[in-house]
Amino acid sequence: MDILTKDTAGLAEKYKSEGVVVVRGALTPYWLEQLRAAVEEELKRGERYFAYRNMRSQPGIFQDFCLHSGIGRLVADIGGSSWASLIFDQMFVKEPGTRTQTGWHTDQPYWPVAGPILTTWIALDPVDADNGALEFIPGSHAWGKKYRPFTTDQLGSFVDYVKKDDPQYTDMPDFEAERDQHRIVHWDLAPGDLLAFDGFIVHSAMGNRTSTRRRRGYAVRFALDQARYYPNQGVAEWLEDNSLSLGDPYVSEKFPRVFNR
Ligand SMILES: O=C(O)CCC(=O)C(=O)O
């Protein structure tokens, strides 16, 4: 039984041109409650923000969700792909008072993958501009830019560029300073709504300025048709895989196919 919405009409076209779409009510109450519980359990580790990643590699709710919820089909439908493989998952909790903005960035230059990557970001709480909505520059995924990766502190603030001499990357403009030159969008989300966005789209996340409203988000990254192993790119060695050669489809035991049409 599929447990995620199948109502994806029109989304693939929009995703292709904008690089980001919202799917309302994507999760059933069952999965919403399961993921919320799993996040609470994980938070007991006492880490901050960026530290919670790849939970799906251990048996448990996150893994069950990634492999068995039907999300792979949703991802392939939106991304116009015949298959989807699982890269990793990550949770982003901005507690009340976490004012730090997650700086403007693109994701894919950090990872050893060329070709299409789609992230699903699922709201586990109501999300809006006051408690940490994600912002996007629609269409920026198609600019053909590969922005230089940078390190951040555990709250997401810029620290320093890495790969400073690598000519495949360009430095990122100060999008915050030039906000008025871009079309910037965000969505207010209800729990269970899902954002799907491209690995190259320019995005950021606002701070949580509220004193009472948590903002829990659960992100899962997938590779699609034409995604290839490209270890010449990236800074995330933990996403490399010796069983793959340069140019192989990004599918392996470590990065399993979760949907195949
Ligand atoms: O949820 C957040 O705070 C940031 C999420 C993000 O940047 C991402 O998933 O790539």
- What would the pLDDT profile of 124-147 be if each residue is shown by its tens digit? 999 999 999 999 999 999 999 999
Total count of residues recorded for the chain:
261
Q: Which atom of ligand 1 is nearest to the CA of 92?
A: 1
CB atoms within 10 A of CB 48: 14
Average of pLDDT values for 92-102?
91
- The pLDDT assigned to 147 comes to 97
Confidence of residue 85 (pLDDT cuts 50, 70, 90): very high
Dist. CA 109 → ligand 1 center (Å): 15
pTM of the predicted model as reported, rounded to 2 decimal places: 0.96
Q: Would the pLDDT of 12 be above 70?
A: yes
- Identify which of 92, 137, 175 to mutate to test ligand 1's pocket (most ligand atoms within 8 A of the CB): 92
**Strands (E) located in the chain:** 20-23, 83-94, 102-105, 113-114, 117-123, 134-136, 150-152, 158-161, 194-198, 203-205, 215-224, 228-229, 257-260
Question: For the chain, how big is the Rg over CA atoms in Å?
Answer: 17
pLDDT of residue 157: 75
Q: Residue 2 has what pLDDT?
A: 55
Q: For the chain, which domains are there?
A: 19-252 (2.60.120.620)
Average pLDDT, whole number, for the chain? 94
Residues with CB under 6 A from ligand 1: 92, 102, 107, 119, 121, 134, 203, 205, 217, 219
Please state, for a pLDDT cut of 70, what percent of the chain lies above it: 96
pLDDT at position 89 is: 98
Mutation choice for ligand 1 from 50, 102, 136, CB with most ligand atoms inside 8 A: 102
For residue 204, report the distance from its CA to the centre of ligand 1, in Å. 7
Report the nearest atom of ligand 1 relative to the CA of 49. Answer: 3
Q: Is pLDDT above 50 for 32?
A: yes
User: Would you say residue 244 has pLDDT above 60?
Assistant: yes
Residue 196 to residue 155: CA distance in whole angstroms: 23
Q: Which residue has the tokens 């980001």?
A: 20
For 195-209, what is the mean pLDDT? 97
What local confidence, expressed as pLDDT, does residue 1 receive?
39
Comparing C-alpha atoms, which of 202, 190, 147 is closest to residue 171?
147
| Residue 22 predicted with pLDDT over 60 | yes
Q: Look-up: residue for tokens 């890269």?
A: 87
